Amino acid sequence: MADITHDVVHEEHTSTGLSSTKLAMWLFLASECMLFGGLITAYILYRGASLKGPYPQDVFDIGYTSVSSFILLASSLTMVFAHNAALDKDFARMRLWLTGTAMLGLTFVGGQVFEFTTFYHEGLSISTNLFGTTFYVLTGFHGVHVTVGILMLLILVVMSWRGSLSEDTAFPVEMVGLYWHFVDIVWIVIFTLVYLIPTPQK
Amino acid sequence: MTTEHDTPDPVNGDAAHAPAPAHAEYHPSSREYIRVALILVVLTCLEVWLSYSSISGTKLIAMLLTLTLTKFLMVVGYFMHLKFDSGRFSRLFALGAIGAFTLYVVVLLMFGVWGK
């Protein structure tokens, strides 16, 4: 594993001196804060307001969700390794880490599908109660974001394989990485607010 | 009238007019990333342990939120490079994140969530 410090400049001559693409990505991520903020607020607003079960404490398995959280955290680490490999212009290693990140993401989404299926069999659907509605919408939206991230990672791998990435390969990897890490921080917040903070009893 | 700004730089030509790149970006090494990831794992373990512990109520919520905020800032700062990148990116993201947080806290206060 390379252990070097990179000093890199992605040069783009703009009036701000900053990359417009990167600026747009940060602006997009800022707007995503608004989206997830709304969904999290709706969940908090209706916490403990369900008139009938199943309630969170009936269905949540903290141990299982903790493992999912560790998987997503690990995927953030593999993502920065992919970026470092791209900076080193070691494209084989970059593809390996990108594929690894996609696989970890896929494991997370698979775990979420399993969790949803289990909850459904325990009687919690999106229309059962307020908890079901807000929970499935919030975590489902996050799952869709992870899936989009996986697709972007795989597209990067295929493009790199076919040699259709530009000379500055590290830049698209960094942009996809920003999105991927954002998905991770959203989960950090969801994990605490939805799973770890106990729901008030009626 | 030709001013000093209109005169092309005889050495660098038009490039002299383009703003210089913000600064050389510093990228942490793999070892630094592993260190950050290990801290994140420890903090997550601590969160899970807290949720099973006898600590409850406001104290538990405050501790969990502090740990979550620390993890959030570590990922944004190190993995997303905001700590080493131009301050403009940080301000842009902070605008969305703090804006969303403020807006939704006001919404929750209006609905009296903490008064229930």
Question: Is B79 near chain A, with CB under 8 Å?
Answer: yes
Going from the C-alpha of A55 to that of each of A58, A128, B78, B114, the distances in angstroms are 5, 10, 37, 20
Note the pLDDT of residue B25: 65
Q: Mind listing the pLDDT tens digit for each residue in B53-73?
A: 998 889 999 999 999 999 999
At A53-89, the pLDDT tens digits run: 899 999 999 999 999 999 999 999 999 999 999 999 9
Contact A62 B60 (CB under 8 A): no
Residue B110 near chain A (CB below 8 Å):
no
User: Taking all residues of chain B, what is their mean pLDDT, rounded to a whole number?
Assistant: 80
Give the chain B residue whose CA is nearest to the CA of A64. Answer: B48
Q: What mean pLDDT do residues A29-38 have?
A: 94
For residue B27, name the pLDDT band (cuts at 50, 70, 90). Answer: confident
A150-168 residue pLDDT tens? 999 999 999 999 988 877 8
**CA-nearest residue of chain A to B116?**
A200
Cβ neighbour number for residue A122 with a 10 Å cutoff: 11
Task: Tell me the shortest Cα–Cα distance from A39 to chain B, in angstroms.
Answer: 10
Task: Provide, rounded to the nearest whole percent, the portion of chain A with pLDDT above 90.
Answer: 80
User: Residues 50-69, chain B: which have Cβ within 8 Å of A?
Assistant: 50-52, 56, 60-61, 64-65, 67-68
For helices A62-87 and B30-52, angle between their N-to-C axes, nearest 10 degrees: 170
Is-contact B29 A3, C-beta < 8 A?
A: yes
Residue of A nearest to B24 (CA): A9
**Residue B64 backbone phi and psi in degrees, to 5:** -65, -40
Q: Choose the closest CB to A6 out of B27, B93, B100.
A: B27
Give the confidence band of B1 by pLDDT, cuts at 50, 70, 90.
very low
Integer Cα distance of B5 and B3 in angstroms: 5
How many Å separate Cα A66 from the centre of its chain?
Answer: 15
pLDDT reported for residue B18: 42
Q: With an 8 Å Cβ cutoff, is B91 touching chain A?
A: no
